[in-house]
Amino acid sequence: MNNVQISVLDEVVSDSKNIRQVKALYRALKTKDQQLIQKILVDEPVWDVSPGFPEGEIYRGMSEVFGGFYQKLLARVHTFGAFPDRFIDGGDTVVALGQYQITKTNSGLPVLVRFSHAWGIDDTGRIKGVWQVADSAQFFAS
């Protein structure tokens, strides 16, 4: 018997075009594939990170998102990863529900922080940005 494990980020036949695009972005972010990220995102994406979450504010454009938000957030932690486990296609919006896995120090235990990402999709299928809500209390409790 073949024991192939399927990741939630793998494409499945029932995925809509927009869900496939959002999954592709999560994969590209995990592998830090800058060329693919730029192909998937619009030229000036908007990251609306919920107030209360570390570095929570609105970031506009690639340089603010990747040179501002992610750079500042990653400076606070040892490891950080987003693990979506459910996708809901609402047409021009795809919602991803999941958990961040964070370790704050090299020897620290991982902490799970629930999130909801609402990804906007434009008419050409490119991702306009994200509206993020997360359990900030869990982030700060770790």
- What domains can you pick out in the chain, each with its CATH number? 17-141 (3.10.450.50)
Q: What is the DSSP string of 16-82?
A: -HHHHHHHHHHHHHHHT-HHHHHHHEEEEEEEEEPTTSTT-SEEESHHHIIIIIHHHHHHT-SEEEE
Distance CA 11, CA 60 (A): 29
Q: Per residue in 103-119, pLDDT tens?
A: 988 888 889 999 999 99
Distance CA 134, CA 116 (A): 6
pTM: 0.88
SS3 assignment, position 90: coil
The pLDDT value recorded for residue 10 is 67
* Per-residue pLDDT at 90 exceeds 60: yes
The pLDDT value recorded for residue 97 is 96
